[in-house]
Amino acid sequence: MKVGFIGLGNVGGKLAGSLIRNGIDTVVRDLDRDAAQKFIDRGAGWADSPKQMAEMCDVIITCLPSPAACADVMEGEDGILDGLSPGKIWMEMSTTDEAEVKRLGEKVIAKGAEPVDCPVSGGCHRADTGNISIFAGCERDTFEKILPLTTVLGRRVLHTGPLGTASTLKVMTNYLATANLLTCCEALVTMKAAGMDMATTYEAMKISSGTSFVHETESQLILNGSRDVNFTIDLVLKDIGLFQTIAERNNVPLEISPMIIDIMKDGQARYGQRANSDDIIRRLEDATGLSVLADGFPDDLVDDEPEEKGYEVVPPG
pLDDT of residue 78: 97
Helix/strand/coil for 262:
helix
Query: Nearest-CA neighbor of 46 among 62, 28, 58?
Result: 28
Question: What pLDDT tens digit does each residue of the chain (317 aa) get?
Answer: 999 999 999 999 999 999 999 999 999 999 999 999 999 999 999 999 999 999 999 999 999 998 999 999 999 999 999 999 999 999 999 999 999 999 999 999 999 999 999 999 999 999 999 999 999 999 999 999 999 999 999 999 999 999 999 999 999 999 999 999 999 999 999 999 999 999 999 999 999 999 999 999 999 999 999 999 999 999 999 999 999 999 999 999 999 999 999 999 999 999 999 999 999 999 999 999 999 999 999 999 999 888 888 999 999 98
- Distance from C-alpha of 114 to C-alpha of 277, rounded to nearest angstrom: 35
pLDDT of residue 69: 94
Helix/strand/coil for 302:
coil
Residue 54 · residue 82 · CB < 8 Å = yes
Beta bridge mates, 29: 6
Residue 222 · residue 198 · CB < 8 Å = no
138 CB neighbour count, 10 Å cutoff: 27
Q: What is the DSSP string of 126-192?
A: HHHHT-EEEEEES-HHHHHHHHHHHHHHEEEEEEEESTTHHHHHHHHHHHHHHHHHHHHHHHHHHHH
pLDDT of residue 304: 86
Which amino acid, residue 59? Answer: V
Q: Which residues does 298 contact at the CB level (< 8 Å), separation at least 6?
A: 220, 221, 224
Query: Nearest-CA neighbor of 261 among 281, 233, 241?
Result: 241
Which amino acid, residue 106? Answer: E
Beta bridge mates, 137: 117, 161
- Distance from C-alpha of 312 to C-alpha of 148, rounded to nearest angstrom: 10
Domain over 2-163+306-313 is classified CATH 3.30.70.270: no
The structural domains of the chain, with segments of one domain joined by +, span 2-163+306-313, 169-288
Q: Which residues does 223 contact at the CB level (< 8 Å), separation at least 6?
A: 188, 198, 199, 202, 292, 293, 294, 297
C-alpha triplet 277, 281, 286: angle, nearest 5°: 130
Query: Nearest-CA neighbor of 19 among 93, 71, 73, 112?
Result: 93
Query: What pairing do the DSSP bridges indicate for beta strands 120-121 and 132-137?
Result: antiparallel
- Distance from C-alpha of 60 to C-alpha of 149, rounded to nearest angstrom: 12
pTM for the whole structure: 0.95
Residue 155 · residue 105 · CB < 8 Å = no
Give the CA-trace dihedral at 74, 76, 79, 84, to 10 degrees: 60
CATH class in words for 169-288: mainly alpha
Helix H or strand E encompassing 8: none
Helix/strand/coil for 214:
helix
Residue 63 · residue 9 · CB < 8 Å = yes
